[in-house]
Amino acid sequence: MNPELRSKLDRITNVLFAGGVNNPVTYIEQLSFLIFLKLLDEEESRRELHGRLAAGNTRALFPGQSSRYRWSEWRFKSGLDLRDFIRDEVFPYMASLVREEPQVAIYFQDARLEVEDANVLKEVVDEIDSISFMRLGTDVKGDIYEYLLQYLATQEGALLGQFRTPRQIRLMMVQMLDPDLGDSMFDPASGTGGFLIDAVEHILAKYSDKPREVPIYGEEWLEKRGQTVAEAKKQIPNLQTYPKGAGEKIPDWKILEQGIYGIEVSRQMMRISMMNLVLHGIRNANIKRANALSELGGLTEEDLKRRYKVILSNPPFAGVLPKESIRKDLPTDSKKSELLFLGVVMEALAPGGRAAVLVPEGLLFGSTSAHVELRRKLVENYDLQAVISLPAGVFKPYAGVKTGVLVFRRPTGEKKDKQSGKVLFAEIKNDGFDTDKITGGGRPETPEKNDIPELLRLWKLFRESGFQKPPGVKAGTLLPPGSEVPTCWWATVADVAENDFNLAAGGYKPQTTEKPSDDDAADIISKTLKLERDIAGGLERLLKAVEAEK
């Protein structure tokens, strides 16, 4: 994203924040409405061109008299005339297109314009009007939204950080599952759509002639350093990067779009994730507003029966649902959302499908019957491949909860090797950001301290072995004195079962034995005996003194 575009976005942000739209979620939602309207106008212009050339989709989005609702028709308005027209006519018209453009209607359902200051609105409209989105590449449009979403992690939006999983963790989980074209991908708590976007970008890079590596800190980070990726990696060997490409070798874009599914209970978040996907080139993703935990929360019978090949999620950790509202098909009787969401993922996974889910660490070792029973079902009925312990500060500044990642697969038939299967345990102490400090609303970058690239390297070897040869040493191994503490180790399913299905990585961690003392054993015994005799002598003298006083 070039400096001029960043400058435009900064001006929009400053105007909206000064104009009272300073709740980060509201700010992004309001911008999403206006960007969507501009995109629809550009799409209409494209269709008009195709109509003149008699090629492609020429059906008008704004037929006949409704053309007055097009961005290009009202963008010249100002003052209350502009504000009232957008609020009272444009938004309701968009929400009415249930039959003609259902995706647009869903997007604008219950939409409200919350930019009350007409002058502020005019400035924002003028800035957006100066951006030609159609001329921007998909990656640039995606970068625009990622740039806007950063405000969810500011101090003002600290409580809203629940909607954003740190990019370095998302990318790690995506690369571990390695989604491919044709996979159905699902997030039952999609938030801003981060996991779905990363999965899409992973596939696009796979189907690109010349994918490029991008640091987790962004391409601007490289610009500031004046380095190429190769130069940066030479200086910082464990710099975490991810592949990015245009996906020009994808044979049918519909295959990609039709495989993307997300459920989000918040309408605001649903809109934000839809716009995020649109700006990343995915116009027809299946994003739905519903409660993935409840049969009463907007799920259809088809939603409940659908199974997915790839599931990536960071579901909410807090919350308790009434028993009557909870889906009956979940593999747990708990009312806690953290267990229920894991149950949703387990149930929604297709045979042969794979999942990576963020969970609070308490779920891994909780001793209640609900915790133990769900872990038992996970270990015995699924192929649990990895448990990854994350740093305690990974979600700072908005949460300090200790978390882990479960990576598992649903067997294609009856599960084999119920006792001899191997589970990889890994510990990430550094994730490329300082785990203790907070500056500017976020954690400072520490690119030289990142355990994720090495874990991904080891994971690749594990996967290439058919998940039969895990890296590291076996759980409970006593290492020689002075040995380096390993970052990963493994246990058999039988080991886990014997440990009451406890999945806390630390419980299986190998221990380093202490180095034997170099002192002579006879000398130590002699000194100990002398010390004991001195103590006994002192006590005898004290006893005589006490008796003499009687």
pLDDT tens-digit series, residues 166-186: 889 999 999 999 999 999 999
- Tell how strand 422-427 and strand 383-389 pair up: parallel
Domain map (residue ranges) of the chain:
3-136, 157-511, 521-550
Three-point CA angle 125, 140, 228, nearest 5°: 140
- pLDDT band at residue 59 under the 50/70/90 scheme: low
- Of the candidates 84, 61, 63, 60, the one whose C-alpha atom is nearest the C-alpha of residue 74 is 84
What pLDDT digit, counting tens, does each position of 522-535 carry? 777 888 888 888 88
State the average pLDDT for the chain. 87
pLDDT tens for residues 356-410? Answer: 999 999 999 999 999 999 999 999 999 999 999 999 888 776 667 889 999 999 9
Q: Assign 481 a pLDDT band (cuts: 50, 70, 90).
A: confident
User: pLDDT band at residue 55, thresholds of 50, 70 and 90?
Assistant: very low
Region label for 423, one of left (φ > 0), alpha (ψ between -120 and 50) or beta (otherwise): beta
Centroid of chain to Cα 177: 13
Q: What SS3 state is found at 504?
A: coil
From first CA to last CA, the distance across the chain in angstroms is 94
Domain spanning 157-511, CATH architecture = 3-Layer(aba) Sandwich (3.40)
Confidence of residue 160 (pLDDT cuts 50, 70, 90): very low
Residue 139 pLDDT class (50, 70, 90 cuts): low
CATH topology of domain 3-136: Ferritin (1.20.1260)
**Residue type for 150, please?**
Q
Residue 99, classified by CB atoms within 10 Å of its CB into exposed (0-12), middle (13-18) or buried (19+), is: exposed
Residue 24: predicted pLDDT: 83
Least confident of 31-35, 161-165, 201-205, 320-324: 161-165
Which carries the bigger pLDDT value, residue 101 or residue 14?
14
> Which residues, 6 or more positions from 355, have their beta carbon under 8 angstroms from its beta carbon?
177, 310, 311, 312, 313, 345, 346, 349, 406, 407, 408, 409, 410
Please give the Cα distance from 387 to 408 (Å, whole number): 9
Residue partners of 484: CB distance under 8 A and separation at least 6? none
Q: What are phi and psi of 123, to 5 degrees?
A: -65, -40
Percent of the chain residues past pLDDT 70, beyond the cut = 91
130 residue type, one letter:
S
**Closest listed residue to residue 155, CA positions, set 440, 463, 483, 446:** 440
